Amino acid sequence: MDSADDLLKRLEQLNDIGAALSRERDITRLLEYILLAAKAITHADGGTLYRMTENGQNLRFEMLRTDSLNIAMGGTSGSAISFPDLPLFDAAGAPNDSLVAGYAAIHVQTVNIADAYTAPNFDFSGTRRFDERTGYRSKSFLTVPMKDQQGEVIGVLQLINAQAYGSSDVVAFSSADQSLVESLASQAAIALSNRLLMTQLEELFESFINLINLAIDEKSPYTGGHCQRVPALTMMLAEAVSETVDGPLAGFKMDDRDRYELKIAGLLHDCGKIATPVHVVDKATKLQTLFDRVDLIDTRFEVLKRDAELHALRQQLALRPCVDAQAEATIAASALSTIAGLNADRDFLRATNVGAETMSDASLQRVAAIARQHVWRNVDGVESEFLSADELENLSIKAGTLTASERKIINQHIVTTIRMLEQLPWPKHLKNVPEYAGGHHERVDGKGYPKGLLRDQMSVQARVMGIADIFEALTATDRPYKVGMKLSQAVSTMNKFKANGHIDPDLFDIFVKKGVYRRYAEQFLDPSQIDEIGS
């Protein structure tokens, strides 16, 4: 007979268990907690938790514990369960009522057995073989179906060998034990169903995110890898910061919910690029639109060279019959000199079009001079400017391949990202996703975009993502307009960004000190990019 004090303590324990079940997010730990809690409130030596398979035809072993034999399988034990599923129906479709766990699941009924060796109607031959092999004595059994909110059985909780309070003597499970476990099983089933539903919704949500990233990837193959690498690097750095125990960021810690929120923000940080024109995102050269217009300029140079040759030939023909060989030679030399100059200007514009290095003022002046000096006849025979205003603007880009207007289009993606994310009804545990994702182009000195935020106006997570976004961009090898930096060059560049107020110096110190850059490199960079960084 359970004492009133013992029953009260167990009821209080059951209440605490219910609260704990609602907090646990990891399904494996949740299942383990259910089994261990049931064993604890009934003083059971062993227990098994089964899950219903998706087709509803079998019970699958999830975990097994027997304290006196020091057996721990499934869950977080690290030891897998190799037992086959328990069939609920035979080949003819008849219910398999001989297995006690199957009977409880099929008939949605608790089975309380005082001694398995004398229990009629159930097949405990497997239990007897286990006992013979181990020297154990399986005696009392309490088998309880776990029903969800719709009354459907989603699993079975089975406890073995209740022990008298304060001793190891095996006794039958009392009616109080049965009531407590049935209550626990009900709470556990609801908690498990809710967690499974949440997991399914999270998987669906992440699938939609991946769908967006796939659309961006299909539109531009140069951004698909970026959408995966930035979240990975963000989490690496955030974990390193969370593990820091000294310095100005020692107080930053993350739990599982924080990690999930940051993960989602990372996956969505560039979702606005779905609205960015592909010819701007993929602009590999200064003259590229739907195609690289440098070929058109090459054609104009060829026309000018042909014109120079024709002009020379006409001049030579005017001297026929040949009366001045020296004059003809001078004409030919002049034509060759003109053609050589045109070739030099063509090669210069082709090199300028690449946009790999910052242009000097002298180079900018030479582009303008080429535009002024050369005149060509178009297909209609009309004299035209050698470079159109748009071509001149693009070839005069001082660094990179984007004009000021195109840069604004690219920058607009973060505004679009924020606008898209702010339209979503985020639950409380994901409410910071728009801020984290929308802040990765801000700078700690307030010179970033779109809002020009200062360091103290940004979360640590947004600043972490900013570092991840820049480092990934510097080292990426799949951009159409540049080659990926070596590790040492990228870290050196980031050090300059740290010095000039671009990135958070404290975060970058952790990035280097904890070797985050190297872990990322080993996972994502080409081996040829990985070298030693300076001290």
Q: Map out the domains of the chain as residue ranges.
A: 4-198, 220-281+406-529, 294-400
pLDDT at 17 over 90: no
| Distance (Å, whole) CA 144 – CA 186 | 10
Task: Give the chain's mean pLDDT.
Answer: 86
pLDDT at 419 over 60: yes
Side chain identity at 42, as an amino acid letter? T
For the segment(s) 220-281+406-529, the CATH number from 3.40.30.10, 1.10.3210.10, 3.40.50.1700, 3.50.50.60 is 1.10.3210.10
Rg (CA), the chain: 37
User: Percentage of residues in the chain with pLDDT exceeding 70?
Assistant: 91
Q: What is the pLDDT of residues 183-222, one digit of tens each?
A: 888 877 777 777 788 888 888 988 988 888 777 777 766 6
Supply the DSSP symbol for 172.
P
Q: What is the pLDDT of residues 69-127, one digit of tens each?
A: 999 999 888 898 888 999 999 888 899 999 999 999 999 999 999 999 999 889 999 89
| Distance (Å, whole) CA 535 – CA 531 | 13
What pLDDT score does 236 carry? 96
In words, the CATH class of domain 4-198 is alpha beta
Q: What is the pLDDT of residues 157-177, one digit of tens each?
A: 999 999 987 788 999 999 988
Question: Is 521 in contact with 242 (CB distance < 8 Å)?
Answer: no
Mean pLDDT over residues 498-513, rounded? Answer: 94
Question: Is 384 in contact with 378 (CB distance < 8 Å)?
Answer: yes
pLDDT at 4 over 60: no
What CA–CA distances, in Å, run from 421 to 212, 261, 278, 438, 531? 13, 13, 21, 9, 39
Supply the DSSP symbol for 108.
T
pLDDT at 148 over 70: yes
Q: Single out the residue of 425, 534, 510 nearest to residue 252, CA to CA.
A: 510
More confident residue, 86 or 534: 86
* Sole residue written with tokens 């129906």: 89
- Alpha helices for 121-174 (secondary structure H): 125-134
What pLDDT score does 273 carry? 80
CB contact burial 41-73 (16+ within 10 A = b; e otherwise): bbbbbbbbbbbbeeeeebbbbbbbbbeeeeebb
User: Percentage of residues in the chain with pLDDT exceeding 90?
Assistant: 42
Question: Is 526 in contact with 533 (CB distance < 8 Å)?
Answer: no
Q: What is the pLDDT of residues 328-349, one digit of tens each?
A: 888 888 888 888 988 998 998 8
| Distance (Å, whole) CA 126 – CA 71 | 17
The pLDDT-based confidence of 5 (bands split at 50, 70, 90) is low
Q: What is the pLDDT of residues 314-327, one digit of tens each?
A: 887 877 776 677 88
Q: What is the pLDDT of residues 471-501, one digit of tens each?
A: 998 998 876 666 788 999 999 999 999 999 9
DSSP code string of 64-96: EEETTTTEEEETTSS----PPPEESB-TTS-B-
pLDDT at 279 over 80: no
What pLDDT score does 452 carry? 92
Side chain identity at 173, as an amino acid letter? F
Mean pLDDT over residues 417-444, rounded? Answer: 92
pTM of the model: 0.65
| Distance (Å, whole) CA 223 – CA 417 | 15
What count of Cα atoms within 13 Å lies in the side-chain half-sphere of residue 112? 14
pLDDT at 306 over 70: yes
What pLDDT score does 1 carry? 47
pLDDT at 7 over 60: no
Task: Give burial (CB, 10 Å; 0-12/13-18/19+) of 340.
Answer: exposed
Q: What is the pLDDT of residues 249-258, one digit of tens each?
A: 999 999 989 9
* Sole residue written with tokens 């990322």: 520
Mean pLDDT over residues 529-534, rounded? Answer: 85
CB atoms near residue 471 (< 10 Å): 28
SS3 15: helix
What pLDDT score does 387 carry? 87
Question: Is 265 in contact with 437 (CB distance < 8 Å)?
Answer: yes
pLDDT at 502 over 90: yes
3-state secondary structure 316-330: HHHCCCCCCHHHHHH
